[in-house]
Structure 1
Amino acid sequence: MKKSIEVCLTPALLNLYNIEDSIVVVIDILRATSSMVYGIDNGATAIIPVAQVEDCLAYAKDGFLLAAERNGEVVEGYNFGNSPFSYTAEKVSGKTVVLTTTNGTKALHMARATAKQVVIGAFLNLSALCEWLKVQDSNILLLCAGWKDNFNLEDTLFAGAVVNELSKDFVLSDDAGVAAEDLYLMAKDNLRAYINKSSHSHRLAKLNIEEDVKFCLQFDICKAIPVLKGDALVTMSS
């Protein structure tokens, strides 16, 4: 019997899915999961996702890097937010980052409560992620972080890319997955132009971080697959 793959379009719908025996892929393309993938690929020892800005402060005495983002902006007083350019090897190699974001870390905490395993996906590690998923003996749920519990376009497009890659190995069992794949196939030849329609793209444009958006839409520049072990995201062991 083939394994199944499903797409949850927003964390607000997560309670509708039975994920106790599933691998959940958390997706927040602009920009949290892209930065997590890039940071782990660049040698970060761990990234600890926390729910609230104040939760970061509990780790200050440990010498960790503190990263906090709300509504697309770095929270005042923190080392950085969720721009991928803050997760270069020069900044994070050998270090632990404590991170909270508007949507991505919330989705992560919701998934970890009941999922069999939680991993992180982005266009940056699409091929590595899909090759790993193909050989796992588990059903998969692709969890789109969305925007404040609403549907968003960029996360759904990435979910569609994963569905497209895995269609020969998994049974696609929901209409959300069908829609996500159809959207991806329409958009894949010019993702940036298509994502320009998205509300979050417009929010980020007001912050003058177009380079972040372009960076997050690159395919396969990373090999790392961040996996949640205890409280921390670490690199997947081969």
Structure 2
Amino acid sequence: MPHQKSIEVCLTPALLNLYNTSNSVVVVIDILRATSSMVYGIDNGANAIIPVSQVEDCLNYADQGFLLAAERNGEVVEGYDFGNSPFSYSAEKVKGKTIVLTTTNGTKALHMAREQAHQVVIGSFLNLNALCQWLKVQEKDVLLLCAGWKDKFNLEDTLFAGAVVNELRKDFTHFDDSCVAAEDLYLLAKDDLRAYLHKSSHSHRLAELNIEEDVKFCLQLNICEAIPVLTGDELVALKAQFA
């Protein structure tokens, strides 16, 4: 009898300890902007992205030919090559390179996820279809882990989780209430994600940083095929396991 697959949504890393992920693929979600930039960078030919927890950890990789990227509270940390704007992850800048990255929320969620998960992959609207097609054929449960904002719930990560639930509904048997809520929010928002996200607190934070173009970029659907997967300490491109 085939495994009855479940899909759950963890609305913030602060709730992660409530989930057993030892048989799960955990999808880390930080739409604005870390996981969008990770997907875009790997899709553009970066060899690897090494997520680290603290800004100081980046310095351990100095003078090794790596690009160092650090973001805190939405801004590039002084002295680093770049932060987590997707425009910094273009092929011209990252192809063939390894990037060491720390961000306020996304890299923290990644490090928490890896402690127990069977596998950790990265999701964004940019690779939504590729990710969902891959998840459909895995004989594993799925936990969609929203990075949130400093351990609090946020709208944009939840909307993406809802988009995944909506796409995978026919392929999974068990859903939790946060799946239902996330999907309902996504169905409310899907015709104009940007307009819906004008309600969000992070949208206001980002507006003060004058990075509207980043926000619009991160809400594009299916412009990337890459699915970054955590292998050891590095995010690398998952080799396609479906035709």
Smaller-chain TM-score bracket = over 0.9
- Alpha-carbon displacement from aligned partner over 1:32-74 (angstroms, at most 9, x marks no partner): 0000000000000000000000000000121100000000000
User: What is the match of residue 23 of structure 1?
Assistant: 25
Give the letter aligned to residue 114 of structure 2: R
**RMSD over aligned Cα atoms:** 0.6
What pairs up with 1:74-89 in 2 under 5 angstroms? Answer: 74-89=76-91
What pairs up with 1:47-66 in 2 under 5 angstroms? Answer: 47-66=49-68
Is the 8 Å Cα contact of residues 4 and 174 (structure 2) preserved in structure 1? no
Distance 1:232 1:62 in 2: 15
User: What is the match of residue 124 of structure 1?
Assistant: 126
- Alpha-carbon displacement from aligned partner over 1:174-227 (angstroms, at most 9, x marks no partner): 110000000000000000000111000100000000000000000000000000
Q: Tell me the CA shift for residue 126 of structure 1.
A: 0.1
Would you say how many aligned residue pairs link Structure 1 and Structure 2? Answer: 238
- Which of 187, 201, 204 in structure 2 is aligned with 1:202? 204
Is the 8 Å Cα contact of residues 50 and 100 (structure 1) preserved in structure 2? yes
Is the 8 Å Cα contact of residues 8 and 179 (structure 2) preserved in structure 1? yes
Distance 2:175 2:209 in 1: 38
Is the 8 Å Cα contact of residues 2 and 169 (structure 1) preserved in structure 2? no
TM-score in terms of structure 1 length: 0.99
TM-score in terms of structure 2 length: 0.97
What pairs up with 1:222-233 in 2 under 5 angstroms? Answer: 222-233=224-235
User: What is the match of residue 223 of structure 2?
Assistant: 221
What pairs up with 1:1-238 in 2 under 5 angstroms? Answer: 1-238=3-240
Give the letter aligned to residue 192 of structure 2: N
Q: Tell me the CA shift for residue 164 of structure 1.
A: 0.2
Runs of 4+ in 1 over 2 A off after TM superposition: none
Distance 1:2 1:214 in 2: 37
Distance 1:2 1:236 in 2: 24
